Structure 1
């Protein structure tokens, strides 16, 4: 990697690209970059969207084969007013499918058996997932003192302190694996789950905070949250729904890609970004075919580690160092199809999560064909399995045959699978989900400082504003608004 000094006077020559008035380069065509480019183009801005790989959509990928639908990244997402507006604009509302309301049950493994996770206070009191002692510990949570010392705290430390070890092991740890593929001992409570941390800070207790929020008037923004989050078209009525699409999640990214015809450049990595006077130079393309372009602003919507591989001027590298060190553990997704008669478990829920203490190869599995229609032929079922993460990174890197062998062993013991899979699709993500580890404020501060010292440069993506699809959609919309405001202020 070559670190550049300040590049004074290195202006791109005319090459058919050149200088474009009121123009923005978006680097990275994952969901955040696609949404940002879409929003800017909708505002009449000249946008060029660069993607190093040959496919847009980032981790959102869908495969159709032999009557099965396999999702290799996100399987679903929760709507918001901003998301609903985007679906309307893209005219894909008719393609939306809501999750089966009868599949809201989440199973957690304890002592080798599947137990429903309690979703109500009454269910918590009667569940076999937690011991009597653990339930009493939860009921006494309002009496626990707030943390006195300043500074960041891990999710594990927070939960042990407020709710006890058993709740950490069998209620929180498996969900951490499901959301971040992460380790609660290293994840930051304040950054991975800021709203939960805020309940303690504001109310002194999680229980008291939840009760206070329930007594607020319907539709009110919960205290302590960002009132601007999802503010785009916030007047549009909406109820949160867990959704996907008839033909899978790639419907969303496909619609965005189609709307950006003429602006998206696949297989076109950005190698160099540097400031020239009041504008930006973007050098992109494969070796021997790279072209330079002058633009008014640049949105870096790439994973954090991509910055480390780019040629950046010293002024940018100085502030970006903490961002480049963000951890992304590997994850393998394995979609398996079985004949319905070969699986004894009813698969009557969302899926199953597995605590680290159970020592299984699986992080968890989704009952995909129970959740949404059209995921398997009528006489079959689809189970989407996840392996690796921060818990067992080495397992994610194993070859397909070994991963299938390990996963089948768990599925046979946990779900009563007897036959061999009639469908299998394995996808390996070498860097899956950014980890919001203890001390993550340094990453956010570095992003803020990089933007402050480099006017017209914007950093966006799931390492900064949340890892869910909904978070990424909001991130793309928000950064587009910020760029539009910057251009307007500059008189462009």
Structure 2
């Protein structure tokens, strides 16, 4: 290990609440790291935010071209109380756009047809998406015996056991692709959807649990679900909203970046973190220009796999192996613009999800220009398509021309698309969304143990507390609270 010289930055320190300067390094300027740094700075902490790439925001990036708006990553998110407060603090209230009322309509493909996903018990009984046999199987769910084993269970096993194979294929599998780009056979129910697993544990039945919750919390059935994760909000505001911004999702990360002027170091990868007495040394920078900084705490807000590429002391490596092995399948995002006259489908909803059993190239597609204004010229529409994931990783890696050809075949057959796209934007994510696979408790235990054995070190990000934008914002806020409490204890 290299001998490090302590280096204290020349930016004037920000005084803490107790009148003394405290410093924190946040590594990774995705949405979690940006929020963590923002919240710490609001508390008077001297923050340095390191980002290896040349831009902040992680997967949240927006492109504007030829009158079209293309999102490279998340297209929307659901608000919560803390999220609404953050938007107000950043003075973004007037930039928010709320999804149209029809955004609750999701389509699922069965036998080549787009069918609305049933959102109410009555709609479920009448939907052609499920056979009569499958509907009867759902009605019998309260009679299914509760699983007594304590071992982790896959989503697929859980759904087959409680609701049957057809519900797995046509109601659950497509949503798993839309949320995680994952495989329900390998993802853990307890970790990907802990609240659903808890319903069985607490009430012995999903149906009984949902009815009990509705009785306890009037109006809960009207709560919105997250446009990125499908999780019910744990503490929703009076009316949770599915939102974006007039100029796209990057508005949020740009505002956070602007609020952190003087603290953000772009193109500055962190190579080494190690403990020195009661503080931490962070070695960061490009080859030949790296510098070391002594700080009181470190927040690692990077993807899990980034830890594997860093030089870390044995005390940090001791427990980190399960974290470094978290899977991130590749995903390609294709934003395609068409003349409105060349698309037969009305695109009247959030989008379409495609079950694996349909054997299509597409995982799903969002009707982006139907959700929010300003996503396409007046005579055009925008459709955002997703390819790859755990289902067909090799497809995500294909070149743009071949991907467009494959996706167009699906869009022509499913949406009645005619003619060629007048706009195309292809973004490839070699590692997209962390997979909460069976046995994921080992990852969470490893993160807990790493923090416990390394006081002042904190791990945060979408591999730990949820993959949606809302989850990541909450993760950044929560880790900032934990760090602030640690600094207060250390200073007392």
TM-score (normalizing by structure 1): 0.94
Structure 1 unpaired stretches of 5+: 223-228
Within 5 A, what are the aligned runs for 1:113-128?
113-128=113-128
Q: How does 1:203-222 map to 2 (within 5 A)?
A: 203-218=203-218
Query: Structure 1 CA distance, aligned partners of 2:237 and 2:348?
Result: 31
Q: Which residue of the partner structure matches residue 46 of structure 2?
A: 46
In structure 1, C-alpha distance between the alignment counterparts of 2:66 and 2:338, rounded to whole Å: 12
Question: Aligned residue for 1:32?
Answer: 32
Contact 1:152 1:188 in 2 (8 A): yes
Match of 1:226 in 2: none
Q: How does 1:74-93 map to 2 (within 5 A)?
A: 74-93=74-93
| Partner deviation per Cα, 1:421-449 (whole Å, 9 max, x = no partner) | 00000000000000000000000000000
Which SS does the other structure have where 1:463 is aligned?
Answer: coil
- Which residue is equivalent to 1:466? 466
Structure-2 separation of matches of 1:16 and 1:352: 50
Q: Give the paired residue count.
A: 476
Separation (CA, whole Å) in 2 of partners of 1:14 and 1:456: 18
Aligned counterpart, 2:317: 317
Native 8 Å contact 1:12 1:18 kept in 2: no
The residue number in structure 2 matching 1:397 is 397
Decide which moves more: 209-218 or 395-404: 209-218
Distance 1:288 1:358, change over 3 A: same
Gaps of 5+ in 2: 14-20, 224-231
Query: What's the CA shift for 1:218?
Result: 4.1
Q: Are 1:274 and 1:282, in contact at CA under 8 Å, matched by a contact in 2?
A: yes
Q: 1:427-466 alignment to 2 at 5 Å?
A: 427-466=427-466
Alpha-carbon offset, residue 103 of structure 1: 2.9
**1:371 and 2:371 equivalent?**
yes
How far off is 1:217 after superposition?
3.8
For 1:265 and 1:163, locate their aligned partners in 2 and report how far apart those are by CA, in whole Å: 50
The 1:105–1:13 alpha-carbon spacing in structure 2 relative to 1, beyond 3 Å, is closer
Moved over 6 A (4+): 219-222
- TM-score by length of structure 2 reads 0.94
Q: Distance in 1 between matches of 2:436 and 2:239?
A: 28
Candidates 9, 12, 31, aligned match of 2:5: 12
Q: Could you say which residue in structure 1 is the equivalent of 2:294?
A: 294
Question: Cα deviations across residues 269-303 of structure 1 (Å, max 9, x unaligned)?
Answer: 00000000000000000000000000000000000
For the 8 Å contact 2:8–2:294, the answer to whether it is kept is no
Distance 1:143 1:475 in 2: 38
Distance 1:237 1:106, change over 3 A: closer
Q: SS at the partner of 1:52?
A: coil
The separation in 1 between residues aligned to 2:456 and 2:9, in whole angstroms, is 23
Task: Provide the residue aligned with 1:225 in structure 2.
Answer: none
Q: 1:241 maps to which residue?
A: 241
| 1:18/1:293 contact within 8 Å kept | no
1:238 is displaced (CA, Å) by: 3.7
Distance change in 2, residues 1:41/1:108 (3 Å): same
Deviation at 1:322, TM superposition (A): 0.5
| Equivalence for 1:412 | 412
User: Which secondary structure state, in structure 2, belongs to the residue aligned with residue 465 of structure 1?
Assistant: coil
- What are the residue-to-residue correspondences of 1:49-198 with 2, within 5 Å? 49-198=49-198
Query: What do residues 350-370 of structure 1 show as CA deviations (whole Å, max 9, x unaligned)?
Result: 100000000000000000001
Residue aligned with 1:332, SS: strand
Deviates more, 1:212-221 or 1:374-383: 212-221
Cα 1:19/1:287, change in 2 over 3 Å: farther
Secondary structure of 1:280's counterpart equals: strand
Report the Cα offset of residue 212 of structure 1: 0.3
Deviation sequence 1:34-81 (CA, Å, 0-9, x none): 000000000000000000000100000100000000111000000000
Q: CA deviation at 1:237?
A: 5.2
RMSD: 1.9
Secondary structure at 2:434's aligned position in 1? coil
Contact 1:12 1:294 in 2 (8 A): no
Contact 1:18 1:292 in 2 (8 A): no
Residue 266 of structure 1 pairs with residue 279 of structure 2: no
| Residue aligned with 1:212, SS | helix
Q: In structure 1, the residue corresponding to 2:64 is in which secondary structure?
A: strand
Q: Secondary structure at the match of 1:240?
A: coil
Which secondary structure state, in structure 2, belongs to the residue aligned with residue 253 of structure 1?
A: helix
In 1, Cα distance between the equivalents of 2:398 and 2:203? 46
